Amino acid sequence: MVTLEKISALCKRCGFVYPSSEIYGGLNGVYDFGPLGSLMKTNIRNFWKKSLNATERDVVFFEGSILGGPAVWKASGHIDNFHDPMVDCMNCKKRYRADELSLDEPCPSCGKKEWTAPREFNLMFKTQVGAVSDESSIAYLRPETAQSIFINVKNVMSSNRVKIPFGIAQVGKAFRNEITPKQFLFRTREFEQMEMEWLCKPEEACDAFQYWLDQRQAFYKALGFNMVNIRFRAHEKTELAHYSKGCTDVEYQFPFGWKELEGIANRGDFDLTQHATQSKKDLKVFDEETQISYTPHVVECSVGSDRLMLALLCDAYNEEKVDDDVRVVLKLHPAIAPVTAALLPLSKQLSKPMLKLYFELKKKGYAVQFDQTGSIGKRYRRQDEIGTPFCFTYDFESQASNTVTVRYRDSMQQERVALERIEEIIKNAAVI
């Protein structure tokens, strides 16, 4: 029932996501987030951060730079290895990933079979820092947030009271010049990652890997995902990078099939060893107990917040037959829904108390909407479509009894509650 077309149309119509630079014809693979998308992304980030803080492990947060010099990306392997095979159609000039089509077939765009030979295309965006344009001014937009964490492990350890084992987590933009950005927010050229790098002793890495697998499973459950749409897929030995000691993808069943949502990887000491070699800095850690220096091992959990938003929207999307109508409803977790409650005076003469409450709740940081236009039924539908869990209606009975009706999004049931309970209801529901 749910299709990518329906989700992207809803996102545009309701102000979740717009194609970037739309009035100039758009920029392929890049999106802008509207008022509701911005609220939802903030909720996703907060949910993720809280899930890390809720464990009994120490995780500190970090914000690295987006620009990085060639040495960083040489050490990480991105300059030499971060490419996809690309072919061009010589007739219509369309570009494709060679691993995503058969060169025995005609071009899906123009129908001709005139392919260039496949060649490697590096996915990093290259730019220049400073006014002089030469080899020394080259920099790259980061293709992942992780590397800025690895090169700061020593800084973080010497400036904070953290000891191995501990994690460094970051939410931030990453950029990849994907040859074929596609499937809406699934594969874009500018996206956001939420990555956590867990640093531990070599002998602790296997247990840590299992620990974070369990934590991440709990995270998806807590987000309210229908767990039949989530699976954990361990990589085959042949899929693993040469340095990797194990990797499991969290996959979601998107309308276009099972696809990676998150990667959980036991990366060994590869990253820190690479940076130690390239920078000629000692990145080892001294173990007081054994009096031996060692290179910490890394377990990484890496998920894209835009891709996660798409999965959440697909999972929450429902079309339900109500009388002779179909209602579109997003059954999002109340802590993820962009708007937690709508305040609806039944008629314009009744707006004052709801408007007052709206400003009070907004001031306290609640995501609420005030809506007095259209029939109450239409207003409920508007809120259903954006996933608002509660609608509070102030009606003709309200003034005398100091009550409102609360209407629950999923059941559409209504009940009368005291006006002063509104804050408590939305506060409790949005707790993570």
The smaller minimum CB distance to ligand GAP, of residues 195 and 384, is found at: 195
Phi, psi of 200 (to 5 degrees): -150, 170
The smaller minimum CB distance to ligand GAP, of residues 124 and 406, is found at: 124
Collapse the DSSP code of 370 into the 3-class scheme (helix H, G, I; strand E, B; otherwise coil) and give the result: strand
Token representation of residue 395: 């009606």
Does residue 316 contact residue 387 with C-beta atoms inside 8 Å? yes
The smaller minimum CB distance to ligand GAP, of residues 149 and 350, is found at: 149
Collapse the DSSP code of 349 into the 3-class scheme (helix H, G, I; strand E, B; otherwise coil) and give the result: helix
CB of 185 vs ligand GAP, minimal distance in Å: 7
Taking CA atoms, 377 is separated from 326, 366, 393, in Å, by: 13, 24, 11
Per CB under 6 A, residues contacting ligand GAP are 144, 146, 176, 178, 187-188, 191, 193, 195, 260-263, 300, 302-304, 306-307
The smaller minimum CB distance to ligand GAP, of residues 187 and 245, is found at: 187
CB of 389 vs ligand GAP, minimal distance in Å: 26
CB of 190 vs ligand GAP, minimal distance in Å: 8
The smaller minimum CB distance to ligand GAP, of residues 176 and 409, is found at: 176
Please, which residues have CB within 8 angstroms of residue 378's CB and are 6 or more apart in sequence? none
Query: Which residue's C-beta sits nearest to ligand GAP?
Result: 304
The smaller minimum CB distance to ligand GAP, of residues 271 and 371, is found at: 271
Please, which residues have CB within 8 angstroms of residue 138's CB and are 6 or more apart in sequence? 69, 70, 126, 127, 128, 129
DSSP 367: -
CB of 161 vs ligand GAP, minimal distance in Å: 27
Does residue 271 contact residue 162 with C-beta atoms inside 8 Å? no
CB of 199 vs ligand GAP, minimal distance in Å: 15
Residues 273, 296: Cα–Cα separation, whole Å: 9
CB of 316 vs ligand GAP, minimal distance in Å: 18
Please, which residues have CB within 8 angstroms of residue 242's CB and are 6 or more apart in sequence? none
